[in-house]
Amino acid sequence: MAQFNPASTLFFLCDLQTKFRPAIFAFDHVVNTTNKLLKLAKILGIEVVATTQNTRGAQFRQYLLIPLTPDTLALGPIDPAIDLLSLGDLHLGTFDKTLFSMLTADVKQLLDSRPHIRSVVLFGIESHICITQTALSLLALPARIKPYVVADGVSSTNAHEIPLALDRLRQEGAVVATSESLAFQLIGDAGRPEFKTFSALVKQEKERTTAAVNTFLGPKDDSTSPYARSSM
């Protein structure tokens, strides 16, 4: 099994841009999970890479059914509700891309300069496009880098794409788990000096975590859940 601890892990935040907000299922839950993970990154000293999708172009406008007007031609920056600024030097950069995978030349260079990295935690949008292609790109690298996909931290324009994408990623070799499960695995030991701060974060985020998990991973017999019509 690939090593999974803070010293050998990067966080990848994928394309969580404001202009996608009207089209993405449960966008605010993804924002909440993302901010929790960024707080975790600060506690554990985990570096974070972010991307944006084609900030200046309009290719996604017709796909997202957003009218092409002068105000909406550019997809624009990451949503301001995402607290990347608080990361300081842990934020390695936000890289614009047209590639669907996050493994652009710049991001690949970052990975190459960190040969100790063995795991990448993936969250953002869209689960069946950029998240999936990033995970597959990581799995295809000669270096053994394991993608961990945050089940309550990814979404899509069509909610029913989410469980299908997560099923595929499991089959391809990625690990799919909730943000809380991955957080506890990263902290690893209640005896760590950071555990008190970590525990306070878990308590602070409990209601938001529950809401996100129930929204994305709710009962399969609940007609409002994307799992209700999945192949699972």
Give the dihedral sign, CA 215/219/224/229.
positive
CA distance 20 to 83: 17
- Verify whether residue 14 is a known catalytic residue: no
CA distance 200 to 5: 20
Question: Are 166 and 127 contacting, i.e. CB atoms less than 8 angstroms apart?
Answer: yes
CA distance 7 to 101: 24
Distance of CA 86 to the CA centre of its chain: 18
Determine which one of 15, 19, 36, 152 is catalytic. Answer: 15
Determine which one of 39, 130, 146, 152 is catalytic. Answer: 130
Residue with tokens 């953002």, as numbered in its chain: 124
Neighbours of 210 (CB within 10 A): 12
Q: Dig out the tokens for 37 from the structure.
A: 């993970």
Q: Are strands 175-177 and 47-53 parallel, antiparallel or unpaired?
A: unpaired
**Nearest residue to 108 (alpha-carbon basis) of 66, 49, 37:** 49
Backbone phi, psi, residue 74, to 5°:
-95, 140
CA angle, residues 207, 209, 213, in degrees to nearest 5: 120
- Verify whether residue 130 is a known catalytic residue: yes
Determine which one of 19, 36, 39, 97 is catalytic. Answer: 97
Helix (H, G, I), strand (E, B) or coil at 120: strand
Q: Which residues are designated catalytic? A: 15, 97, 130
